[in-house]
Amino acid sequence: MRMVPITLYLALAAILFCIGLYGVLTRRHLVIVLVSVELMLNAVNINLVAFSSIGPFANITGQVFTLFVITVAAAEAAVGLAILIALYRNRKSIDVIKQDLMRW
């Protein structure tokens, strides 16, 4: 069985992170920004799983951290969608540029 080199995992994670960062920095639609943040978190997960195959505790450490990141990502998605719904109900827009005031 052939092993995939760790550099390919790192390259994939870097590409996904850059795509997510581009989406966060350039998009105005709040849903796209939330999806881009999720893409960046998934890139971190790929790195954690790739690095879990090396090191002194090679079989568990990366997977445990990945479970924590998945949990945080799920909570972030739930809170982000709740904020999105509240913004849309109160301001009738989910454009990031228009959401510059902290008051309702």
**Containing domain of residue 69, as a range?**
6-94
Among residues 38, 59, 50, the alpha carbon closest in space to that of 12 is found at: 50
Q: Where does the pLDDT of residue 4 fall: very low under 50, low under 70, confident under 90, or very high at 90 and above?
A: confident
Give residue 104's pLDDT: 53
Which residues touch 54 (CB under 8 Å, ≥6 apart)?
6
Mean pLDDT of the 69-76 span: 83
Give residue 37's pLDDT: 87
Kindly state the DSSP code that residue 2 receives in the 8-state scheme: P
* 22 pLDDT more than 90: yes
Query: Has residue 12 been placed in a domain?
Result: yes
Total domains present in the chain = 1
Query: Has residue 99 been placed in a domain?
Result: no
What pTM did the predictor assign? 0.72
Query: Has residue 100 been placed in a domain?
Result: no
* 15 pLDDT more than 90: yes
Assess contact for 14 and 48: CB atoms under 8 A.
no
Query: Has residue 34 been placed in a domain?
Result: yes
Q: What is the CATH number of the domain that holds 62?
A: 1.10.287.3510
Query: Has residue 39 been placed in a domain?
Result: yes
Give residue 97's pLDDT: 65
